[in-house]
Structure 1
């Protein structure tokens, strides 16, 4: 059930919610609700955090599906805006290897208005998350950066997952640096570093990222090769957890979501413990088909085993 009480959520993810249109056999397409930042909002809600997705979706069947899925996830629907513009679609015409493009000229996501969010929510939010293609699409990107600056000045914690996509060419470089300097927590994968920095020198790219904001905690994920968490001078790496992998879709969103949850609710944990909880969250997501967020008992069971 969606959150309808007057209390505002402690966590908000701001960005894009979209529909993945996946080509099945050359003739048929399968529509799946998605979006990087929207998924992270769902992960926090699934773990038990009061959560909202701040963004705009269309008023057609695609927007209906995203609205219904947001309600089913327990998100605070006061932050989800519905506008009379076309939907944002990711056309995935090949899954092996992944090949896609976006359809969204003047689409609903670009018309998100932060000034239309509920009055007083800024006083309640403890953590806000940014990332995905929303920061590569104007004018939405500029509005989100302004929101990040505003909340940073209020002492709200900020996490950032660029989640590299083909839209993020050299024109994205300034946004990458700005958001990295604003963030308290940054999540990147090996694929993100290669794409964002346009290099095969991943160690050098990571060093550059860390130099922009030495105080930020950086979660560096490497798929089946595990992950690392850098927190100031503290650093810990861990192997991937051995689970029966059904689907890796949504694992990255679950890993950053798990890290945020751990830092919000167990701040006394060590860097190692935060990392293991994050890896457990990503592993738990892999045990289900599609981008289904893990539940807290599922994550805690894997975390205890670690």
Structure 2
């Protein structure tokens, strides 16, 4: 049987949730913004020049239209983005203090169907990124874990960012362990560790994550305090470059994208240089308001700045 080849098949795939943030501005004033952790990583990868697809399902209404338009404008491969006649997934965001809850019982994201993706879509795939609340929402989570296992069996490298939210209770633990065990790269923040392992000190929580897959590369971010990159007995530490911060929203997603790009194009780099690439991308995203993807030129400039400081 003739095997179908997908023209310009994606090199990077991000699978999970694309949603609408409903942000409270006070006095019952709300504003909507396109978002979603894995979708933000996809947009950041595309902005940095990677041939990237987002795999997920969105609604057939104005919220879905906005996500589709932003995906198209961001240069994503739209062939993996499915549209279904279900309600949108909404993240209700209270800004002071920052908190989230989600509205989406039987919403569009839960109806993503990996078996309906176009033939040949895996042909050129090098990395697949998973995470966010998509892995805490059934039946979607089970489908995504199965997809990650299939891709791993085909030699695709797996990236995982839990991106903790309060719906990740004890029912999430098996998924956390399964994905961390599969992952070649785990990205986790200090806030993630506090949420995932309440009662554990940060060092103990980080060790817990690493114990699931001791050979995985782990990016541990600490906001303004910088980040660490760990693999086996190796460790690199660095502070973020000095910039005039406009907005930190989406910085973590951008840092994951920057690291994936560095790992894909520059496998010969040292752990320290890979970490610099992650911090440069995250910081470049902070130069703009909202979850806006970083500019490749800004990332490169900040990367060179960080490399120069240690040369």
Give the TM-score range, shorter chain: over 0.9
What is the TM-score with the length of structure 1 in the denominator?
Answer: 0.97
Alignment of 1:126-205 (within 5 A): 126-205=126-205
Specify the alignment match of 1:85 in structure 2.
Answer: 86
Q: Distance between the aligned counterparts of 2:109 and 2:125, measured in 1?
A: 22
Q: Distance between the aligned counterparts of 2:209 and 2:101, measured in 1?
A: 27
Say yes or no: does 1:120 pair with 2:113.
no
Paired residue total: 301
Q: Distance between the aligned counterparts of 1:90 and 1:240, measured in 2?
A: 29
Shift of the alpha carbon at 1:194? 0.5
Q: Secondary structure at the match of 2:13?
A: strand
Say yes or no: does 1:272 pair with 2:267.
no
Alignment of 1:272-291 (within 5 A): 272-291=272-291
Moved over 4 A (4+): none
Structure 1 stretches lacking a partner, 5+ long: none
**RMSD (CA atoms):** 0.9
Specify the alignment match of 1:12 in structure 2.
Answer: 13
Q: Secondary structure at the match of 1:248?
A: coil
Once the two structures are superposed, residues 176-228 of structure 1 have per-residue CA deviations (whole angstroms, 9 ceiling, x without a partner) of 11100000000000000000111241100111111110110000000000000
Q: Distance between the aligned counterparts of 1:90 and 1:241, measured in 2?
A: 31
Once the two structures are superposed, residues 50-79 of structure 1 have per-residue CA deviations (whole angstroms, 9 ceiling, x without a partner) of 001000000000000000000000000000
Q: Distance between the aligned counterparts of 1:48 and 1:77, measured in 2?
A: 16
Q: Distance between the aligned counterparts of 1:224 and 1:96, measured in 2?
A: 20
Shift of the alpha carbon at 1:7? 1.3
Once the two structures are superposed, residues 231-287 of structure 1 have per-residue CA deviations (whole angstroms, 9 ceiling, x without a partner) of 222110001211000000000000011000000011110000000010010011011
Shift of the alpha carbon at 1:100? 2.1
Q: Distance between the aligned counterparts of 1:22 and 1:212, measured in 2?
A: 36
Q: Distance between the aligned counterparts of 2:25 and 2:178, measured in 1?
A: 38
What is the TM-score with the length of structure 2 in the denominator?
Answer: 0.96
Q: Secondary structure at the match of 1:159?
A: strand
Q: Distance between the aligned counterparts of 1:99 and 1:157, measured in 2?
A: 32
Specify the alignment match of 1:262 in structure 2.
Answer: 262
Q: Secondary structure at the match of 1:85?
A: coil
User: Does the CA contact (< 8 Å) of 2:59 and 2:88 recur in 1?
Assistant: yes
Specify the alignment match of 1:304 in structure 2.
Answer: 304
Specify the alignment match of 2:96 in structure 1.
Answer: 96
Q: Distance between the aligned counterparts of 1:71 and 1:206, measured in 2?
A: 37
Q: Distance between the aligned counterparts of 1:222 and 1:200, measured in 2?
A: 16
Specify the alignment match of 1:61 in structure 2.
Answer: 62
Q: Secondary structure at the match of 1:105?
A: coil
